Amino acid sequence: MKISDKHIAEIADLLDAGQVCYFHKQTGKIEHHTDPESPFFDPDQWKDIISLIKKDRDAFVKFDPMDSRESYQIMVNFAHSIKDMTISEKLLYILSQPKPFQNFKHHIQYLNYIDDWYKFKQTAMMDWVRQQIEE
């Protein structure tokens, strides 16, 4: 199955926002809803989309968001990718402390690495989608 880079990027963005995505194999349309495991999931809000997908499940490819372990690993990989060893080591230290997600985001903003982080994360999210396509 071939999915365009545009669709892969859209799915990656939705997954990053905590959505579960479904790609219709024939039409190329992307359907999505909040992850049912999320405390923000409201079944009434998503019942039409969920019903549509359940009616024709075989017509869709499902894409799941990363779990926290996988998201954490992306942050570790980003920290390792930074050439400035002082900053790299600081980020790795932060990731070993309590509240790593919150503190990581704060420090990459403070250290002015936020744009690099978003590019790195988008690439990783698109790779995540491609891995699910191959499975």
Pick the closest to residue 30 from 41, 22, 38 (CA basis): 22
Query: How confident is the model at residue 131, as a pLDDT?
Result: 94
Q: What is the pLDDT of residue 122?
A: 97
Q: What ranges do the domains of the chain cover? A: 5-63, 68-134
Q: In the prediction, which pLDDT does 40 show? A: 85
Specify the long-range contacts of residues 132-135, CB closer than 8 Å, at least 24 apart: 132/61, 132/63, 132/64, 133/1, 133/3, 133/8, 133/61
Q: What is the pLDDT of residue 135?
A: 78
Give me the pLDDT at residue 38, please: 85
What is the pLDDT tens value at each position of the chain, 135 positions in all?
789 999 999 999 999 998 999 999 999 999 999 988 888 889 899 999 999 999 999 999 999 999 999 999 999 999 999 999 999 999 999 999 999 999 999 999 999 999 999 999 999 999 999 999 987
